[in-house]
Amino acid sequence: MYQVPKLTDFSPAALDKAVTELTSALEQECAKACSEPEWKALRDRWMARKNGILTQVNDLWLKAAPAEAKREVGRRVNELRAHVENDVVAAQERMAGRSGSDRLAAERVDITLPGITRPIGARHPVLQALDDVVKVFKSMGYSVEEGPEVETDYYNFEALNFPPNHPARDTQDTIFLAGQDKKPARDRLLLRTHTSPVQIRSMQKYPPPVRVVCPGKVHRHDTPDASHSPLFHQVEGLAVDTNITFCDLKGTLDHAMKALFGSSVKTRFYPSFFPFTEPSADVQISCPFCGGKGCRTCKQSGWIELLGCGMVDPNVFDFVRDNGYDPGKISGFAFGMGADRVAMLRYGIDDIQLLFQGDVRFLEQFA
């Protein structure tokens, strides 16, 4: 292995001979560097500040040279330094190119071999239920509208005829965003508690007649248990035109329930209350599992409560009167159902939390 000699003769011929020996040794060692560790050892051996060969050349040649020879020795030392740096860098590039070629050779793909198949996923049961409900209403001429999940108090409550002291405006029921205290009440932001704000936005966008369904996620301040979740899904619908009656609402929902759960399913309506509809009703369907005879799913009653509905309250139309919604000339109905509830009924799921825990073993049953 090359060692830097201590010079006693500083004549040009002696210096040329010493430089030739050094550069020859450098080229041989660079040619042997075939891996990253070997290249690092080469770099440290020649360029290390404390005991590298260049440092030794500086000490044994330049500093030891007599005054009259320092100029000539210094020139050669500078040339050597540049030469060593260039050769070491070239050795690294050569080594990197070689390893890249080896890697490409190792990774070469035989295109005649069968490809790697990836398992195809399936729609989540809640999304399947959402899609099926929307498909039923699209077949009846409804269009699909969506809106923001972060809503203002105005769209979520005020424009839907919720009075200022309604319990739903309380933070115990609704998830409000922090830092809203200084804003006017109608501008405060919250996570929407239903998809009804999309109905108001749709009426602002389109003059009557209008028929829309509004699917999406909603949020409420509920404690998670088998039948409650702080996040769930709804599909709401709205139909507005001249001479819309409660009979139209009943016929529409009866047709939709038969399309979803079978032609033998029956519907029944009984009075209820919602701030944005008057009159209002809850809708039950005959149990599709026992045919109304009574079973575990319907709690032996033969009926399952599925959704709420009603005729749009004229006070709601007042908020969009400027877009053609004169409550004296038009009427409409609205309805809303939980897609999670539909999925649970369809697949016999008795705990809503199972839908949101992400357990693939559970979800793949419905693929």
**Is 82 a residue whose pLDDT tops 70?**
yes
What are the structure tokens assigned to 126, written together? 């809640």
> What is the 3-class SS of 226-251, one letter each residue?
CCCCCEEEEEEEEEEECCCCHHHHHH
**Is 194 a residue whose pLDDT tops 80?**
yes
Residues 324-329: what's their mean pLDDT?
Answer: 93
Percent of the chain exceeding pLDDT 70 equals 96
Q: What integer pLDDT is reported at residue 104 of this predicted model?
A: 57
Encode pLDDT of 238-264 as tens digits: 999 999 999 999 999 999 999 998 898
The CA-CA-CA angle for residues 247, 248, 252, to 5°, reads: 115
Confidence class of residue 58 from pLDDT cuts 50, 70 and 90? confident
Q: Which residue has the tokens 């899904």?
A: 233
Confidence class of residue 154 from pLDDT cuts 50, 70 and 90? very high
In sequence order, which residues have a C-beta less than 8 Å from that of residue 6 and are 6 or more positions away?
A: 60, 64
Rounded Cα gap, residues 233 and 221, in angstroms: 14
Residues 281-289: what's their mean pLDDT?
Answer: 90
In sequence order, which residues have a C-beta less than 8 Å from that of residue 218 and are 6 or more positions away?
A: 149, 191, 192, 193, 194, 195, 231, 232, 233, 234
**In the beta sheet, which residues pair with residue 160?**
none
Long-range contacts of 42-48 (CB under 8 A, 24+ apart): 42/88, 42/91, 43/88, 43/92, 46/84, 46/88, 47/84, 47/85, 47/88
b/e per residue 148-174 (b: at least 16 CB within 10 A): eeebbbbbbbbbbbbeeeeebbeeeeb
**Is 80 a residue whose pLDDT tops 70?**
yes
Quote the mean pLDDT of the chain.
88
What does R_g of the chain's alpha carbons equal in angstroms?
Answer: 40
Q: What integer pLDDT is reported at residue 121 of this predicted model?
A: 78
**Is 320 a residue whose pLDDT tops 60?**
yes
User: How many C-beta atoms lie closer than 10 Å to residue 89's C-beta?
Assistant: 12
Q: Which residue has the tokens 């009427």?
A: 331
User: How many C-beta atoms lie closer than 10 Å to residue 322's C-beta?
Assistant: 10
User: CA-CA-CA-CA torsion for 214, 216, 219, 220, nearest 10 degrees?
Assistant: 50
Confidence class of residue 37 from pLDDT cuts 50, 70 and 90? confident
Nearest to 236 by CA among 331, 127, 334: 334
Q: What integer pLDDT is reported at residue 101 of this predicted model?
A: 57
Confidence class of residue 268 from pLDDT cuts 50, 70 and 90? very high
Q: What integer pLDDT is reported at residue 180 of this predicted model?
A: 85
Structure pTM? 0.64
H or E stretch covering 86: helix 70-106
Encode pLDDT of 86-139 as tens digits: 888 888 888 777 655 555 555 676 778 787 777 777 889 999 999 999 999 999
